[in-house]
Amino acid sequence: MHAPRRLAPIALGTAALFLLAGCSGGNSANTDDAEQSGGSLVIDTAFSIETTDPGHTYDPTGNMVAKALYETLVDFEGSDVTTPVPGLASWEQNDDATEFTFTLEDGRTFSDGSEITADDVVFSLQRIQGMVEAKPNFLLTGLTVEKIDDSTVSITSETPLLQLPAILANPALGIVNADVVEENGGATDGSDSAQSYLDGESAGSGPFILDTLDLTSQVVLTKNPEYTGDEEPAYDRVVIRNVTESATQLINLQGGDTMVAMDLNGDQVEGLDDGFTVDSVPSGQTIFLLLNQSPDVAGELANVDLSEAVRYALDYDALLELAGAGATQATGVIPTGFEGALEEGVTQDLDRATAALEASGYDGQTLRLQFPNDYPVGGVEFTPLAERIQAQLAEIGLNVELAPAPFATELDAYVGGTEGFGLWFWGPDYADSANFLPFAPGLKVGLRAGWDASANPEIADLAAAAASATDVDERTEDFTAFAEAMQESGPFVPLIVPGRNIATADSVTGAVYNSVWDVDIAEITPAG
Amino acid sequence: MTTGTTSPAPARAGARRYRARSPLARYLVRRAGTSVLLLVGVTIVTFTLTNLVPGDPVSAALGEGAAQNPETREAFIRSRGLDQPFVVQYLLYMGNLLRGDLGTSLVTGRAVTTDLATAVPATVEIAIAAIVVSLAVSIVLGTLAAYRRGLVTDQVVRVVTLVGLSVPTFWLALVSFYIFFLQLRIAPGSGRISPSITPPPRVTGFYTIDYLLNGDGVGFLDAAAHLALPVLVLSLVTIGLLTRFIRTSVLEVLASDYVRAARAKGLSGARVVLDYVLRGASLPILTVVGVAFGALLSGTVLVESVFSWPGLGTYAYNSASNLDLPGIMGVGLVVGVIYLVINFVVDLLYGVLDPRVRLA
Amino acid sequence: MSTDNRTDALASAGRRTRLRWPRAWRSPLGIVGAVIAIAWVIVAFTASWWVPFEPNAQVLPRLQEPGVDTLLGTDGTGRDIFSRLMTGATVTIPLALMLVVAAMVIGTVVGAVAGYFGRWVDETLMRITDLVMAFPTVILAMVIAASLGPSLFNAVIAAIVVSWPQYARVTRSLVLGLRGQNYVIAGRLLGRSPLTSLTVDILPNIVGPMLVLATLDIGAAILLLSGLSFLGLGAQPPTAEWGSMISWAIQNFDAWWLGVFPGLAILTVVAAFNFLGDALRDILDPTGEVAHENQADRAASATGAAA
Cross-chain Cβ contact B254/C296 below 8 Å? yes
Put simply, whether A212 touches B (Cβ < 8 Å) is no
Does B248 fall in a domain?
yes
Contacts of A60 (CB under 8 A, 6+ apart): A45, A48, A518
Q: B136 is in which domain, residue-wise? A: 114-313
Shortest distance between the Cα of B302 and any Cα of chain C, in A, equals 7
Amino acid C292: pLDDT: 42
pLDDT of residue A276: 92
Q: Is C148 left (phi over 0), alpha (psi -120 to 50) or beta?
A: alpha
| Model pTM score | 0.82
Residue C286 pLDDT > 60: no
Contact A437, A490 (CB under 8 A): no
B318 to chain A, any CB pair closer than 8 A? The answer is: yes
Strands A40-45 and A237-242: parallel
Q: How far apart are CA A360 and CA A363, in angstroms?
A: 9
Q: Does A255 touch chain C (CB under 8 A)?
A: no
CATH 2.40.50.140 fits A14-282+500-526, yes or no: no
Q: How far apart are CA A338 and CA A494, in angstroms?
A: 15
* Among chain A residues, CA nearest to B269: A3
- Which of A180-189, A260-269, C251-260 shows the highest mean pLDDT? A180-189
Q: Choose among A373, B182, B305, B310: nearest CA to C227.
A: B305
d(CA A171, CA C144): 44
Smallest CA–CA distance, residue B58 to chain A, in Å, is 14
* Whether C194 contacts chain A with CB within 8 A: no
CB contact under 8 A, B64 and A254: no
- Spatial separation of the C-alpha atoms in residues A438 and A493, rounded to whole Å: 15
Provide the chain C residues 29-58 that lie in CB contact (below 8 A) with chain A: 56-58
Closest Cβ opposite residue A15 in set B137, B186, B197: B137
Domain positions in chain A: 14-282+500-526, 286-497
- Proportion of chain A above pLDDT 90, given as a percent: 53
Q: How confident is the model at residue A291 (pLDDT cuts 50, 70, 90)?
A: very high
Q: Establish if B63 touches chain A: CB-CB under 8 angstroms.
A: yes
Give the model's pLDDT for residue C149: 82
Q: Answer yes or no: is C10 within a domain.
A: no
**CA-to-CA distance for A329 and A346, rounded, in angstroms?**
9
Structure confidence by residue, pLDDT tens digits, A6-17: 444 444 444 444
**A321, A373, A400, best to mutate vs chain C, most C CBs in 10 Å:** A321
CB contacts of A246 in chain C (<8 Å) are 251
CB-CB contact of A335 with A291 (8 Å): no
Range from A28-42, B23-37, B333-347, C224-238 carrying the lowest mean pLDDT: A28-42
C-proximal residues of B, 281-300, CB under 8 Å: 287-288, 291, 294-295, 297-299
Residue C251 has pLDDT above 70, yes or no: yes
Least-confidence region, from A136-145, B331-340, C10-19: C10-19
Written as one letter, the residue type at A325 is A
Cβ pair B255:C142 closer than 8 A = no
For chains B and C, CB pairs below 8 A equal 200
Chain C contact present for A273, CB below 8 A: no
Residue B35 lies in a domain: no
- Say whether C259 and B171 touch across the interface (CB within 8 A): yes
Q: Please tell me the number of Cα atoms within 13 Å of C268 on its side-chain side.
A: 16
Q: Do A2 and B186 count as a contact with CB atoms less than 8 A apart? A: no
- Residue in chain C lying closest to A389 (CA): C58
Cβ under 8 Å to B: C residues 122-141: 126-127, 130-140
Neighbours, chain A (3 or more CB pairs < 8 A): B, C
Contact C253 A247 (CB under 8 A): yes
Q: Which of A11, A256, A258 minimises the CB distance to B144?
A: A11
Residue C269 CA to residue C264 CA, distance in Å, equals: 8
SS3 A241: strand
Lowest-confidence region among A483-497, B89-103, C138-152, C284-298: C284-298
pLDDT for B21: 60
What counts of helices (H) and strands (E) characterise chain C?
12, 0
B270: nearest CB among A6, A241, A416: A6
Question: Is residue C259, in this structure, part of any structural domain at all?
Answer: yes
Q: Are A197 and A181 in contact (CB under 8 A)?
A: yes
Does position C197 have pLDDT exceeding 70, yes or no? yes
Nearest CB to C77: which of A247, A271, A384? A384
Q: Given an 8 Å threshold on Cβ–Cβ distance, is C3 in contact with B245?
A: no
CA distances from A223 to A64, A192, A210 (A): 15, 28, 9
What percentage of chain B exceeds 70 in pLDDT? Answer: 86
A3, A11, A409 member nearest B323 (Cβ): A409
pLDDT of C57: 85
In this prediction, residue A284 carries a pLDDT of: 79
The larger pLDDT score, comparing residue B66 to residue A407, is at A407
Q: What percent of chain A has pLDDT over 70?
A: 92
Chain C residue nearest residue B296, CA to CA: C136
Percent of chain C with pLDDT strictly greater than 90: 36
Single out the residue of A343, A339, A342 nearest to residue A466, CA to CA.
A339
How would you class C307 by CB atoms within 10 Å of its CB: exposed for 0-12, middle for 13-18, buried for 19 or more? middle
Measure in Å the smallest separation between the Cα of B30 and chain A Cα atoms. Answer: 40
Nearest CA distance, C157 vs chain B (angstrom)? 13
**How many domains does one find in chain C?**
1
ipTM here: 0.84
- Residue B106 falls in which region: left (phi positive, over 0), alpha (psi -120 to 50) or beta: alpha
Question: How many Cβ contacts (< 8 angstroms) between chains A and C?
Answer: 48
Mean pLDDT of A254-275: 85
User: C58: which chain A residues are within 8 Å (Cβ-Cβ)?
Assistant: 318, 387-388, 391
Q: Kindly state whether A432 is in contact with chain C, defined as any CB-CB distance less than 8 angstroms.
A: no
Least Cα distance to B131 among B220, B234, B205, B274 occurs for B234
Q: Give the span between the Cα atoms of C136 and B298, in whole angstroms.
A: 6
Q: Which of A101, A284, A74, A243 is nearest to A167 (CA)?
A: A74
**At A208, is the secondary structure helix, strand, or coil?**
strand
| Residue A383 contacts B where some CB pair is shorter than 8 Å | no
Chain centroid to Cα B345, Å, comes to 12
Task: State phi, psi for A16 to the nearest 5 degrees.
Answer: -60, -40
Q: In this complex, is the C-beta atom of A386 within 8 Å of any C-beta atom belonging to chain C?
A: yes
> Does C106 touch chain B if contact means CB atoms closer than 8 Å?
no
Band (pLDDT 50/70/90 cuts) for residue B58 is low
pLDDT average, residue stretch B198-208: 86
> Is residue B227 a contact partner of residue B208, using CB atoms and an 8 Å limit?
yes
Domain encompassing residue C275 = 42-293
* CA B143/CA B145 separation, integer angstroms: 5
- Which whole number is the average pLDDT over B201-215? 88
Q: How confident is the model at residue C143 (pLDDT cuts 50, 70, 90)?
A: confident
- Total structural domains in chain B? 1
- A451 to each of A177, A296, A492, how far by Cα in Å? 43, 12, 10
Neighbours of chain B (3+ CB pairs under 8 A): A, C
CATH code, domain carrying B161: 1.10.3720.10
Mean local confidence (pLDDT), A464-482: 84
What residue of C is the nearest CA neighbor of B1?
C133
Q: Does A384 touch chain C (CB under 8 A)?
A: yes
For chain B, say whether C118 makes contact (Cβ under 8 Å).
no
A residues 224-243 closer than 8 Å to B (CB) = 237, 239, 241, 243
Q: Check pLDDT > 90 for residue A112.
A: yes
Max CA separation in chain B (angstroms)? 83
Residues A392-403 have pLDDT tens digits of 999 999 999 999
- Residues A388, C58: C-beta atoms closer than 8 Å: yes
Subunit contact B136:A218, Cβ cutoff 8 A: no
CB-CB: which of A245, A247, A387 is closest to C77? A387
Using DSSP's 3-state secondary structure scheme, residue A155 falls into: strand
Q: Is A404 on the interface with C (CB under 8 A)?
A: yes
- CB-based contact C211:C229 (threshold 8 Å): no
Q: Does C286 touch chain B (CB under 8 A)?
A: no
A255 in reach of chain B (CB within 8 A): yes
Residues 16-55 of B with CB under 8 A from A: none
Instruction: Flag if B136 and A18 touch (Cβ within 8 Å).
Output: yes
Is residue B5 in some structural domain? no
For residue C63, pLDDT over 80 is answered with yes
User: Quick one: fold of A286-497?
Assistant: Dipeptide-binding Protein; domain 3 (3.10.105)
Task: Read off the CATH number of the domain in which C245 is found.
Answer: 1.10.3720.10
Contacts of B174 in chain C (CB under 8 A): 246, 249-250, 259, 263
Confidence (pLDDT) at B129: 93
**CA atoms within 13 Å, Cβ hemisphere of B248:** 19
Could you say which DSSP state residue C131 is in?
Answer: H
State whether B185 and A255 contact (CB < 8 Å). Answer: yes
Q: Do domains A14-282+500-526 and A286-497 have the same CATH topology?
A: no
